[in-house]
Structures are given as C-alpha cells and as structure tokens.
Structure 1
Amino acid sequence: MALNLYIPALKDNPIIISETRPLKISQSLTALHGKNPLDIASFLNSELEILNRQKISPSNRVQALDTYRPILISTVQALSEDYSIAALPLHDKAKLAAAAVESLWLELGYGYKLVLVDLQNLLIKLGTDKSSANALLRAMHAVAEHALVCYQTYVSPPEHIWSDLHQLYFCAIKLGIQNVKVDEDKTIVGSTSTHTNTIENTYKHALLMSLADPQHLTQKNMRLAAEYLAFHVDNAKISIVAPLEMTTSCFIVNLSSNKPPVSYSKQNTAPNPDSDMLLQTLDLVIAIHQDLSSLQNNQLPQDGGIPANANRDEYIDLLTYLIKHWGVTQNRIFNRTKSNGEIEIVTGIPAIHFFSSTCTENANITKNKIEAEQAGGTHTPQASLWHITNISAIGMSVRRHPTAEKNIRIGSLLGLKTKSEQNWSLGLVRWASCGSRDRLDIGVQLIAPRAQSAMACINQNGREEMVLLLPEIVAAKQLATIIARVGTYEPARQLTITYNNNTHVVMLTKIIERSHHFERIQYSVIS
C-alpha cells in the first residue's frame, strides 16, 4: 500500500551520521539537565533533523525516536506556557516558543512516519503489525499535537496535517490495527495520550478538536477540551457511509482529501462511499449532557474527565460550547457585507470605563482608580486603530493596524467607536486568526450600543470597583445588565452602584454570560 506522507527527502551520503544508540543519546540528553527549554528544543530539533534526513533501519530509527520522545514532550510542555496564555498577536518570546514547539512536533512526526514507510516497504512483513501500530499512533499523536499548536496560536494548520492524518488512519484500517491498544507512560505524555491509546481514538480526537472550532476558544479552553475529550472519545463512532434518517451529530470525513471533517448537512454533494467515512457524535453529546447536568447540580462526574479541583462554572460554559459544536450544527443567521473603514478599539473593563465616562469628574475617578490598581503607574488607557473588513447585523470582522496594542484574547470585552459615532459600543472577541508580521483578524459580536461607567461596592469592606451598566434593548428583548469582574455574581447579591452622582442599590438576579475576563449579569433595582 503506497503512502504519500509529508516527509523530508533522505540523503544517500550524509556528511554527519546520526546517533541511533539509545545509551549514547541518553548520555547527551543528561548533559542538557537544567538548561533553558529553548536551548533544549534547539538541540533536539538539530538531532532529529539529522536523524530524519538519512536512511536508517526502522528498528534503529525507532530506538532513537523513543529515546528522544520523553524529553521532547516535557520540553514542549514547558515551552507551551509561553504562548498558551499569551495575548494576541503573540509577543516575541511567545512566538519563539510556539515556533520551537511546532518544529519539534513536525520532526518527531517525520521520524515515526519514516519508520512506518520503511515497515510497509519490507518484503517480508511478518510480525510487523505491533511495530506499525506503535509508529502509526506516535506519528498521529505528533501530527495532532502540531495541529493543536496551530490552534493555540490562532493560525490555520497546514494542509499536510489533514492529508497525513487521513492516510495514517486509512493505513491502520488496511492493516486492521486501528483498535490495537498501545501502552503509553502517563508521566511522559500526559492524560490525553493515555486515554486515546488506539489509532482510531487518536484520529477521532483530532477530528473532534477541529470540529470544536478552536478559533472561538481561549488557549486554556483548547487544552481543557482536549483533555476532557480524551475521557469520552470512545463515545464518538466512525463508520462507513450509509443512508441516514437524521443527520444531526453526523460529520463527513474525506480520507482522500487534505481537509478537516464537515457537517453532513453542509455537504453540497452526496458522500462517496469509496473515500468518505462517517463520524457520529450523538453518544458523545449525550455523555457531555450527563456531565453538564451533574455540574449544574453541584456534583462532580465520576469518570475522571473533570478534575476534582476544577472551576465548575468554567466547565459548565465549556461543555455547553462543546455540545453546540459536536451536536446540532450552527448556521449563520446574518450575512456579512464587505466594509472598508476605521474603528477605534479599547480592551477591558478599566479602559472602557474610562472612555465611557460621561463627564470629566467620572473620567478622573476612573483614571485615579486605574493608576491605584497599577501600583502607582501613570498609564492612561489609549485607543488603538483597527480596520473594518466586513460587517453584519450583530458584529464585524476587524484587522489590526501594526501600531495597535497586543492585548487581544478570546472572550475579551471591547469598546468600539468610529469617528462619526458619539458613544462607545460594546463587543466581545468571538474568534481570532493570526498571520505573518503580527497580522491579526478578530470577529467581534456587538452586545450593546453604549455603556454607562459606574462604581460598585461589591464586598462589605467598602472597596469600590469599576463596572459597566448596559441599557435595556427592547427590540432585541435584552434586559439591562451589569458587567463586572469574574467572581462578582452570587444569587441575590446586593451591590451599591454610583454613577453621575447618584447611588442605587441593586440585586443580582441572573448570570447572562461569563468569560475569563468578565461576567455579564441581569439585575433589579432595589432603591
């Protein structure tokens, strides 16, 4: 069976002969102890490049790769901390870390794919199934982790990622080893690999992470989703294409393509039984519903998919999101229209509070509050200029100017205003897409045409905090809400709110939306 995987060309007469003896490799890796993760990554990348560019027997290559793999995984885990919580577009340190991790997964994937190709080219293949299963699983794991780096840096994965994943799975089917269990050391690879320890589960995991539409998730939630999915991926099923009475929770995977799966209902043509497979997620969605119900009843699911010390509200929001993306396919309600204009943007409650202040007194109070919270700093919020690329009834896509601040995160609260507008509108960052030279496109959902800056006494200690009051919008059946820091909402909690020299006591009644950066809450005025 011919494989056309994305692998480097091999040199017949390499200048440097790669080291393949596990003992010698282990000695060189021991010398790296205590070094900076970027230096370790540079060494590993250099050694793997040498290894993956010359002809070596499959057994020798696998011995070398298996020796490098544990320290490679621990190194990428250390480096991921630099970009997996970073604002967008990425700063230089985060870019270096992401590029290093991407290169390591690419080279590790090359190595195991070369092993598989060599095993398939052997004239006598007796007893090679176990070796092929190991090589296939570890190649697929490396390719899938490469895709996750792309997701967490908000860039589109290269097309060869999907071509390789589809071919590797198809190869496993032909060999009949897609469900062979491969033992992994949890201390080395983490929880994701140990629970997706078959080729089919690893493949389904990669497909479902793409279907989770990671551009709309925070970097942290991508990793949480990946770890949670590992416990439930058995519930998703792959089957041959067959007529369906109901296409809900069904997705088509084209094994001959370089594309991710697509919803069955969005297919323009009938699936091809010769090249297409069916991914069904109904049982998976039911299992997620059960976990969501447990969390909503203040109970922790017993399967271990959610850690005992997890933030319950955070997981409720994440599971609700995953149900929508792995269950009923969402259709766009409003069409986008191309636009060409400039818009000013500020990020976060303090900055929006400052620019939304309706009088000099309020603006000065906000400025003083910001400076106090920054431990004596003198930074006054500044608006950044962005370019509008398209617009719809409920939002817009905007592109960052090179001079704009690097402070965008998924779920961030934005203040927006064109030159012709008097008030600052409020919006949320729903998705992001990064490119070269700090290019950043974001999707913004508009949630209010204006905001009233106010100060709220939330705790009994009398400390005031900045909040934003959003007006009722009758046409959208949207009640008045308050935006405050995360952790503000408690049922029936009372706040004392002051704005425009008036003071009101309000009671919080319902949480409307929550992100890592704010809470949006309905309230009723008591006095």
Structure 2
Amino acid sequence: MQLALPALDRDPRLVDTNPDSVASWVERLPYSDLHECGRLLLEALRGLSRTPMEVGNRHKLLLHYLKGLDRYYPALESEIVQTDLTSVVRTRQLAMLGAALFESIFVAFKLTLTERLAKRGLLEREQQRIELLLYTMMAARQLLNICCQSYSPPPAHFWQDCHQLYSFALARGWQDKHLEKDDSPALIYRQILLLGLTSTNRLSMPELLVTKQLIMDLSRQTTLLPVEALKGTVHGYLVDSSRDEPPRFLRVQSETLEAACYLLDLSPAITVLTHSVEQLTRLQNTSHSPSQVYDELTLLQSLAAEWQQPRRRRHQRLPIQEVIELISTIPAIWYRCNGMSWIQAGNEQAAPPASTRAPPAPSLFVVVNQSATGFLLRGQPRGQTLRAGEAILLTQPGKPDTAQLCMVCWVSLLPDGIDVECGVEIIGRQPAAVMLIPSITHPTDTPQFALRLPAITTLHRPPLLVTQGRLFSRLREFRLWDEAGENLIRSSRLDKQSPHFQLMEFRASEYF
C-alpha cells in the first residue's frame, strides 16, 4: 500500500511532542475565534505529519488534536451551513480552512496507519491496526463531506488513497470489521464512492444535508462487483482502483479491464428511490403542502436519474470572454428593474420602510463560455448570493436592454477560496418589477416583490411570474400591481421551482 504522504522533514526539537503538554494546549485553544483556532490546529496537525517520532506517541498526539477538532468543528459547520458561502468572503475562507483541517487529519491517520503496519513485534495487535484503518477511512469520508459542503473538489491523491485503503482491507479480510455502532471499511468505501459520483454542487444546502443522509442509508443497498465476474457488456459506474478519480459512468467490458476494477451496482438503491418517487407522486395530488412534496419529489427524481446515468452536455459550448454585471435574489433584482427604487409607482403604500437599504452593487463576472441555454461564469460574488437554485440577473454593462433572468444550476469554489465558478440556465429576458399578494389574506400578509417575464410567442410560452417562497397553488387568486395598476389574476400552472423561487403561469381571473 503506497499512500500519498509528506516528507518527515521537521526537526523534533521544534515541535511539541509531549502528550500532556499537547493536551493542555488543546484545552487552551481560542475556540470562540473560528479563524484563529482553526489556523493553530492546522499548523499543529501539519507539523505532526512532518515530524519523525515513535508511532505510539504520534497516535497519542493525533487523538489529542482530534479532541480539539471535535470541539471546534460543530461551530465551524454551523457557520458554513447557516451563512451563505459564496457571498461572504470570511465564510469561504473558513470553509477552505475546514477542508484543510480534515485533509491534515486524513494525512495524519494515513501516516500513523502506515507506520503501525510497518512495525513488527509481539505487542502489535491486529485490532489496533483495524481501528486505525477504520479511523483513516472515516477521516476520508469526513474530508469529502466538508469538500461537498464547501463546493470544492477533494485534494490530489484522495481517490487513489481511498481505493488503496479499501483494497488493503479486502486483502487482509478486514472489509467487514467495525467498531461498536460504526460502519465497516466496505460500507464507508461505498459511501465515499456514492458521494463522489453525486453532483452535490447542484444542490442547495438543505438538499445537500438530505442527500448526504440518503447516501449514508442507501449505500447499504449498493454492491461492488469485480469486473471479471461480469458477463458481456454493461453500462454503469466503474471504479478503477489504479486511477485517482471517483467512479466514472462507462461502457464496461470485463475483458478490457484489469482485476482491480469494480462495477458499483446501484440497482437496489435506485429501486428504493423509485419506490419513494412513486409514493410522493401519488401524494402530490392530495397533499395540503404540494410545494414541499414537489421539492422532495424533484430531489429524489434527480438522484435516481443521476445514479442511473450522469447528466450529459446537450448543447455546444462557445468560448467567449465577456464581462457582465450580476445581481442575485429576487428583491435585489426587483430593485434594479424598478429603476433603483423600493417604491413602485402607483403602489406607494406597499413600499418597505424608508430605512430599507439598497442592495449591494452588481458584481462583475466573466462569461467563460455560452450555450443555447445558459452560461459558465467565473468571478468574485462581492456580496451577491450565488447558490444552487438562486435567481440572478445578468446584464451587459451600460446596456439595460440586455437583461436576462437566470437560475444558478451549480456552484464550485475555486482552490484560491476567492473566485467562484457557476453554471446558469436562462429563464427569460427583460423581467419587469411587479408586486403580489393573495386576494384572501391574513392580517400579517404584505405585498411581495415578484418579477414578470413576457410571453414568448414563438415558443408558445405565456407570461410567467417569478415569486419568492411557496405561493403557488393551482387557481389561487392574487392581487397584482404593475405599470397598468392593480389586477386580479390566478396561478394556473407551476412551470419551475427551486429552493428559492417559483416560476408560474397565470391568467386574469376573469378567464376562470
């Protein structure tokens, strides 16, 4: 087993290698200062993995640092999950720091395991080695988890190391060993593979949390089939232990592959997902919360489709290097479309308080390439919220007539922790600012910001409304204010829904 490990080039005299001293230092860390505490822990962990020392002592020190990380990580995760990652530079930096911390934990466990396996002696117990292998694989799983949460790829050699750890467990017959209430190496490996082939950067944070739990549960329904056991040609996710990459969807022919290759059989897991989709489809027609059922149904359908076959590019990409202005979230887009004002002409009584601040200025992004349906963008959000499913407005500088309303499909944080890439889908052009409120209201209801997209006659697409939250209900009546005044309308069909907005067809109430 040749794992990727750093050189042992630190002078032991310059590193604290006393377990009692390290335990005391861990207790005194400034846990309330997330950035400083993380920086100190990261520096110590990197020093641990570059300093020559006796393996037993390294293991003791690692466990002390792990206690500190267990105390530190919940606050870090809360910050990442609750604060928008892309719009706040500090949160992006904390996310990158968290990924670096778990990479260091993974490296430290790999080194400790390697040194323990190399040690020969009567006192070396097999159980201790199995425990180290399990902790190393659990560290890999947690590293991939936080990479998914921070929309960033795992470090180099990650997949190669995971493949080798599983192959080693298999060779030793340890693949089904486990600690009390913990998973076995075989199950952890399948969880890592399933998480690796899922496009988590297309998910909102709530969707990601649900997906990760589904993966933890449904990985028990997956199987690794050696390619030499396959008959004929099949299409599926190939795991090649000799390559530093996650499972790839390929046309698999056993006679052209080496023995270290497996087919990840997802059929039982897909069957469970399909059954859940069927149940939700039946429930959708009778549910009192159709929007919530729609969200769950869309997520499960997306996962089932991707696990059967990943998304393929349907349109040619044309490389262009054009700078555009980007504004995100419906209120900020509404403000821009309403002439940089929170007050709608003719509907002044519905204006927000005078103290309401103007949204952040547009951010400049580069259009890396363009297809018939969307764009690939790269840049710094600078206060703009970029998350999967968010509405954004793209405009060429100084040309308001070029405004296009889009939806963020996926997000990726680049390694520098500063720039962000995202793929966006075009929804419509020239959105207009309108206000909306259900005709039957509660005392606390107030008019909401909404956007109206014009009809596209050539595509037989009627006018559409873009609203925040979950307002849609078939034939629900609304009062709508636009440049023509107040009108009564009814929603007729839900065209699209994301975690952050709904796109619905509507008609004047008099037509119903």
Identity between Structure 1 and Structure 2 (%): 19
The residue number in structure 2 matching 1:453 is 433
- Once the two structures are overlaid, the 10-residue window that deviates more, 467-476 or 168-177, is 467-476
Indicate conservation of the 8 Å contact 2:317/2:369, yes or no.
yes
Deviation of 1:177 (Å)? 1.0
1:22-74: CA deviation from partner (whole Å, max 9, x where unpaired)? xx655554445964444543443344344333344444433443344344134
Aligned mates of 2:197, 2:136 — CA distance in 1: 21
The residue number in structure 2 matching 1:356 is 337
1:490-517: CA deviation from partner (whole Å, max 9, x where unpaired)? 3432212222224332323333332232
What aligned pairs does 1:95-106 form with structure 2 within 5 A after superposition? 95-106=92-103
- Once the two structures are overlaid, the 10-residue window that deviates more, 514-523 or 388-397, is 514-523
The residue number in structure 1 matching 2:371 is 392
The residue number in structure 1 matching 2:14 is 15
- Once the two structures are overlaid, the 10-residue window that deviates more, 423-432 or 95-104, is 95-104
Indicate conservation of the 8 Å contact 1:212/1:325, yes or no.
yes
**Is 2:139 aligned against 1:142?**
yes
1:319-367: CA deviation from partner (whole Å, max 9, x where unpaired)? 222112212332211110111323232212123223434xx69974189
**Is 2:206 aligned against 1:216?**
no
What aligned pairs does 1:31-110 form with structure 2 within 5 A after superposition? 31-32=28-29, 35-87=32-84, 89=86, 91-110=88-107
Deviation of 1:234 (Å)? 0.7
Aligned mates of 1:6, 1:370 — CA distance in 2: 66
The residue number in structure 2 matching 1:325 is 306
Distance 1:158 1:437, change over 3 A: closer
1:410-431: CA deviation from partner (whole Å, max 9, x where unpaired)? 2110122335672522111112
1:351-404: CA deviation from partner (whole Å, max 9, x where unpaired)? 3223434xx69974189989954771341664333222111111111222x585
The residue number in structure 2 matching 1:168 is 165
1:191-235: CA deviation from partner (whole Å, max 9, x where unpaired)? xxx5xx111221121221121112222344333311221111111
SS of residue in 1 equivalent to 2:504: strand
Name which of 270, 278, 289 aligns with 1:285.
270
The residue number in structure 1 matching 2:186 is 200
**Is 2:203 aligned against 1:234?**
no
Indicate conservation of the 8 Å contact 2:328/2:384, yes or no.
no
Name which of 399, 403, 425 aligns with 2:404.
425
Indicate conservation of the 8 Å contact 1:18/1:50, yes or no.
no
Aligned mates of 1:324, 1:457 — CA distance in 2: 37
Name which of 108, 111, 118 aligns with 1:111.
108
Aligned mates of 1:361, 1:178 — CA distance in 2: 62
1:103-127: CA deviation from partner (whole Å, max 9, x where unpaired)? 3212221222122212321335897
Indicate conservation of the 8 Å contact 1:352/1:415, yes or no.
yes
Indicate conservation of the 8 Å contact 1:82/1:93, yes or no.
no
The residue number in structure 2 matching 1:188 is none
When the two chains are superposed, the root-mean-square deviation of aligned CA atoms in Å is 3.5
- Once the two structures are overlaid, the 10-residue window that deviates more, 102-111 or 120-129, is 120-129
Indicate conservation of the 8 Å contact 1:347/1:407, yes or no.
yes
List runs of 5+ in structure 2 lacking aligned partners. 285-290
Distance 1:313 1:77, change over 3 A: farther
The residue number in structure 1 matching 2:344 is 365
**Is 2:156 aligned against 1:177?**
no
SS of residue in 1 equivalent to 2:157: helix
Aligned mates of 1:108, 1:222 — CA distance in 2: 23
Indicate conservation of the 8 Å contact 1:8/1:110, yes or no.
no
The residue number in structure 2 matching 1:3 is 2
The residue number in structure 1 matching 2:287 is none
The residue number in structure 2 matching 1:307 is none
The residue number in structure 2 matching 1:416 is 394
**Is 2:512 aligned against 1:515?**
no
Aligned length: 498
Aligned AA (1:77): P
The residue number in structure 2 matching 1:191 is none
Indicate conservation of the 8 Å contact 2:487/2:508, yes or no.
yes
- Once the two structures are overlaid, the 10-residue window that deviates more, 374-383 or 496-505, is 374-383
Aligned mates of 1:225, 1:380 — CA distance in 2: 32
Aligned mates of 2:410, 2:346 — CA distance in 1: 30
Aligned mates of 1:254, 1:335 — CA distance in 2: 29
**Is 2:326 aligned against 1:345?**
yes
Aligned mates of 2:472, 2:248 — CA distance in 1: 38
Indicate conservation of the 8 Å contact 2:345/2:483, yes or no.
no
Deviation of 1:245 (Å)? 6.0
Aligned mates of 1:313, 1:370 — CA distance in 2: 34
Aligned AA (1:238): L
Distance 1:348 1:91, change over 3 A: closer
Indicate conservation of the 8 Å contact 1:354/1:381, yes or no.
no
What's the TM-score, normalizing by structure 1? 0.83
Distance 1:126 1:290, change over 3 A: farther
Aligned mates of 2:354, 2:5 — CA distance in 1: 52
Aligned mates of 1:371, 1:131 — CA distance in 2: 68
SS of residue in 1 equivalent to 2:344: helix
Indicate conservation of the 8 Å contact 2:334/2:433, yes or no.
yes
Aligned mates of 1:413, 1:211 — CA distance in 2: 26
The residue number in structure 2 matching 1:434 is 413
- Once the two structures are overlaid, the 10-residue window that deviates more, 171-180 or 421-430, is 421-430
Aligned mates of 2:420, 2:353 — CA distance in 1: 27
Aligned mates of 2:163, 2:100 — CA distance in 1: 21
List runs of 5+ in structure 1 lacking aligned partners. 185-193, 300-309
Indicate conservation of the 8 Å contact 1:38/1:79, yes or no.
no
Aligned AA (1:5): A
Aligned mates of 2:346, 2:222 — CA distance in 1: 52
Deviation of 1:521 (Å)? 2.2
Indicate conservation of the 8 Å contact 1:472/1:479, yes or no.
yes
Indicate conservation of the 8 Å contact 2:22/2:64, yes or no.
yes
Aligned mates of 2:123, 2:234 — CA distance in 1: 42
Aligned AA (1:513): K
SS of residue in 2 equivalent to 1:332: coil
SS of residue in 1 equivalent to 2:434: strand
